[in-house]
Structure formats: structure tokens, C-alpha cells
Chains A and B, each alone.
Chain A
Amino acid sequence: MADDATQTDDAPLTASKRSGAAAELIGQIPEAQGSSVVGRAVTINKPAAELYSYFRDFRNLANFMENVVSIDVRDGGRSHWVVKAPAGRTVEWDARVTEEEPNRMIAWTSEPGADVPNSGRIEFKEAGARGTVVTATIAYDPPGGVIGKVIAKMFQREPGIQARRDLNRFKQLMETGEIATPAMNPKQFEEMGL
């Protein structure tokens, strides 16, 4: 078995079996908070600038992030998030943009007092004829620690599952102008959630 401390290949940290990989991944987030981390990539057939500008207007995120109830945008790169949690509860926090490069990257962290301390970065990388590779890395402290994480997984609000589905919905919205649903009418669509 390879030395657990050193990576000997070119694999992304999200695919690593090494125990130190999560900490390294969290270390890539500016002003990181949170001990659990998820990373997901999706390819979207649109230019990076278009995806970046849609995402940067945080009010848009509720259009494809299933758990987001509302996002209020405030001055100075600050925003207030209300997000669904298991068992019908909601959690809230204030977030602040810590770094951004137009058309390339946005990083954020939650302010002190957050119900779920979290931080992350989203990157937009041009991929030629395929469009743009969008990679999200999110670090967080699950409410209720490890047990809370298991419960979240059971209710499918676990951030790893959620990040993948949210990114897929972002892709659908950007590529097709709508979000796929088998709903038979608008009321059913609303009840099913995104």
C-alpha cells in the first residue's frame, strides 16, 4: 500500500482514499470553515462568462438549488441564506464572498453564528467545444455531527448528494432554459420540489 501521507498520482483530491486528502481539499478554500468536504464537477455547454454571471447573482441560486428557501443579497459581497434541513426545519446563515476572479472563480465563507458553518469555492473552467467545467468544493460542519450527517443522508439532504443534483439542475437550466420534471401539472411540480 502507498504511503498514506503522500499522493503518488495525478488524481483529483475528491477521489483520494488517503485520510489526509479532505484536509488538503479544505485547505484550497480561502478562509475555510467546516470539517466535512464534498467536491463535484459537471460540464455545461455554455461559455464560462455566462455561467459565472448567472451564478454570481446569488438570488438566482434558489432557481436550481432544491434546499434553498431564499437568499437575500446585501452590500459588500454579503448574503443571508435560509436553507431546508431534515425534519421540516430550516437553517440560516450569513455568508461573505472571500475571493473572486470574474468568469473564473467565486469563494465564500459563512459568518460567525451560522447554524451550519460552511465555506466553499466554485470554479468555471473553459473546456473548448464542450463548454465549461464547473467544479464546486464545499466544506461544512453538519448539524448534529456525524449522526446528523447520517440522518441528512437518509433524508437525502446530505451535501454530497445535494451538490451533485444541484449542479445537474444548474446544467439543465443553463443548457435548456428549464428544469426537467415528470410532473403532470404546475401544482405537482411545486409539490415535488425542484
Chain B
Amino acid sequence: MKALAWHGKHDVRMDTVPDPEIVNPRDCIIKVTSTAICGSDLHLYDHFIPTMQSGDILGHEFMGEVVEVGAKSTLKKGQRVVVPFTISCGSCYHCNKHQYSACPNGLPADNQDIARTAYGTEMAALFGYSHMTGGYAGGQAEYVRVPFSDVGPIVIPDGVDDDKVLFLSDILPTGWQAAEYAEIEPGDTVAVWGCGPVGLFAVQSAFLMGAERVIAIDHFPHRLELAKKFGAETLNFEQTAIYDALMEMTGGIGPDAVIDSVGLEAHGLFLDNVVDEVKAATFLGTDRIHAIRQAIIACRKGGRVSMPAVYGGFVDKFPLGAFMEKGLTLKTGQTHVQHYMPALLNAIMEDKIDTEFLISHRMPLMDAPKGYELFKNHQNECTKVVLKPGMTAA
């Protein structure tokens, strides 16, 4: 089959590799019909995430048709499914508590040592996201082996377009969980840093959860336009002093909840960012964290900080003093996708959540390397690239 393989920084190629087969009894094999490039794939593309190996197949947002099932899969050939990006067993202590992304059972025992050393614990297995998360082949391919297919994938009713439901795999539940972690109360003002896919779904989710005002922060005009479409007020950090604006807009109090959906590669020429970039380049520190610093400084006393953004390593100049003195609460983590999928599928079917607005580019899977380049370098107009293995080049 054809698959998008990582070969180094800014070097991804369409390789020919053997088709996957059933290995374990709960596996299924799906024929991919749609797969997206995620903002967090750009962290791999930029080689910010360790433990990548040449030839690793990328992609963790995908859906398709079931073509093979293991003896213990509950799926049937021909069913259309969306696959969660986290590989969770459904039967351990964490899965029973619906903390699916804390499941240790998808991660091969030999891969657990890396995260134990870096984070003090093993982490969830993910599709197509380095060997620290299991070294599983991802979904930017014609076929994928899906473990625990009896508990992960969600079956999509006939007649519902791929483009409507594809984002159930990651970014929609991630945006929703981000808003849930902000513990929004009616009348609240919520500030969202980053109007990428997760930020835009967090904006929609925050309003559905009762926020009175959502303030969206970015520097790409087109992305701010999209946030405005959903009712957010917008701030462009290239033109506006964000802290001052947030204080004035909230009567000097600050937002009740803040959401960082930017993460480890924050853009912008701020002094602390430049220092972080120099440090990252010299391996003194790995994560650039301007957004979360600003969010903590702006948040009101006793407010909530939600951090769906991906961070991989260590940071310094984290405003721990402000965090403590203001009595803030921080909630973060990989998304418990399986927990949110059924309700969010219903919300899509009932037209409560708009998903298709996000897709700016649809292209054949074979054009995936071009898709990465586009998504990386044209973030204003390129909001989401969806790759279609069945599509022929225009």
C-alpha cells in the first residue's frame, strides 16, 4: 500500500509498504477513506517530538471502511467507522473511569521505559506519533491496523458524509474537552489562545456550555474570521496588547476561564519566545510557551486554566507565582476521545456543531507531502487538510 512516511525534519514521503494484517484477536483492518493532517503532526514535521524513526507512518485522524476483523472484534466488514487517536483497551482501571487516554495497555511494554524516564509514567498509545507512544503505524495510509476495535472505533450511520464526522477522531473531542475543563458557568467570559482547529472547536463548545462571551486570540486574520462566525470577539496579537485588551474587555477582572490551544510551538516575536527559541535550538529547553504564560497572567483570580495544547518537555519562566497567588486551577491532558464520541456524533447529526467549515483543502493521499508543506507555511488560509486515498489528482 501507499503511506505517508516520516524521514526527518520537513521530509515526509509517500512510501510503498506491505499492507497491514490482523495480529491480535481484537484488531480490525480499515481501508481509509478520509484522513486529516493535525496541528500536532506539524510538531513531528518540525521534529519537536523525540523518538521518531525514519519510515514511521504518520496520521492519527482517520476513518474508513472495515475490511478485516479479528476473532474478537465486534465490528463487521463493510461498516464505516471513525477511529479515536488514542489506543485504549476499555477494560483497565483508567478506561473504566472513562480516562481513556490514561490507558497503559495499548503501549507495548518495551516502549514504556521512555515515557517512564521522561514523565514518570507510561503514557497512552497513539497512532502515528513516535515510538514513545508505541510506534504504531498511522492513518495517512491506504490501510490501518486498528487494535481494540471492539471498544475504540465508532460506527457511522449510512448517508453521513466523511467530512462531517472525521474530526470525531481527535480535534472535535479535544476542543470539547478543553471547554469542559474550563468549567464554564453561565455568564462567563472565556478567552481562547489559538484559532486552529482545536481552538475553533473550543469556541463553539464554550458557547454550547453557556459562556456569555468568548474572546478568540490569534494573528491569522482568516482564522479570526472563522472564530467571529461562531460569535467570538477577536483579538489579533500583532495589532493588540492582549493583556491590556482582556482587562478592558472584562472590566479589569480578567477572563473567568482561559484556554491554551497553541502549545509548544507558539508563534510571535515576544522577548520570552525568542529566548525560548534559542534555548530549544540549543537543547537547553524544548517548549516555547508564550501562550500559556499570557493566559495565566490574564486569567481572573480563582479562574480556570484549560490546556489542550501539546507540550513535550521542560519549560522555564512558568509564572508559578501568579498561578499560586491568583489561586488558579489547571486542567490538561490528552483527550479521552472514546468518552466524548457518542454524544458529539449526536450533536453533529442534530446540526448543533459545525465541522465542515474547517476544511480548506481536500487532496489525494498521494499529495500528502504537499499538504504538510501547505499546512505548515500557509496557516492563514490553510485551516485543515483532508487527504482522500480514493481521490485522483486534479
| Residues of A participating in the B interface, judged by any CB pair closer than 8 Å | 43, 45, 66, 129-131, 156, 161, 164-166, 168-169, 171-172, 175-186, 188-189, 194
Contacts and interface: CB of A to CB of B under 8 A. Distances in A.
B318 interface: no
Nearest to B97: A129
B282 to A, nearest CB: 29
Nearest to B20: A184
Contacts of B323: none
A194 B109 CA distance: 8
A175 B112 CA distance: 17
Interface of B: 17-18, 20-26, 72, 87, 89, 91-93, 96, 104-113, 122, 125, 134-137, 145, 147-148
Contact of B91 (A130, A176, A183, A185): A176
Contacts of B21: 184-186
Nearest to A161: B113
Contacts of A175: 89, 91-92, 105
Contacts of B22: 186
Given A176-B91, A182-B135, A184-B137, 9 more contacts: A168-B104, A171-B104, A171-B105, A176-B26, A180-B107, A180-B108, A180-B109, A182-B137, A185-B18
B74 to A, nearest CB: 13
Contacts, number: 84
B140 to A, nearest CB: 15
A172 B109 contact: yes
B104 A176 contact: no
Contact of B106 (A164, A180, A186): A180
23 contacts: A43-B93, A45-B92, A45-B93, A45-B96, A129-B93, A131-B93, A156-B110, A168-B109, A171-B105, A175-B91, A176-B89, A177-B25, A179-B24, A180-B105, A180-B106, A180-B125, A180-B147, A184-B23, A184-B145, A185-B23, A186-B23, A189-B23, A194-B109
Contacts of A165: 109-110, 112-113
A172 B93 contact: no
Contacts of A178: 24-26
A161 B111 CA distance: 12
A185 B112 CA distance: 21
Nearest to B96: A45
B96 A177 contact: no
Contacts of B105: 171-172, 175-176, 180
B54 to A, nearest CB: 15
Most chain A CB within 10 A, of B89, B96, B109, is at B109
Nearest to A129: B93
A169 B26 contact: no
A175 B26 CA distance: 13
A139 B214 CA distance: 60
B109 to A, nearest CB: 4
B60 to A, nearest CB: 13
Nearest to B88: A176
Most chain A CB within 10 A, of B22, B91, B105, is at B105
Most chain B CB within 10 A, of A161, A179, A184, is at A184
Contacts of B108: 179-182
Nearest to A166: B109
Nearest to A42: B104
Contacts of A172: 89, 105, 109
Contact of A169 (B106, B109, B147): B109
A32 to B, nearest CB: 27
Nearest to B17: A184
Contacts of B106: 180
Given A176-B148, A184-B20, A130 B93 contact: yes
B377 to A, nearest CB: 31
Contact of B23 (A156, A177, A181): A181
A133 to B, nearest CB: 12
Nearest to A131: B93
A181 B93 contact: no
Contact of A184 (B18, B87, B107): B18
Nearest to B56: A182
Contacts of B125: 180
Contact of B24 (A130, A156, A169, A181): A181
A40 to B, nearest CB: 12
Contacts of B148: 176
B144 to A, nearest CB: 10
Contacts of A171: 104-105
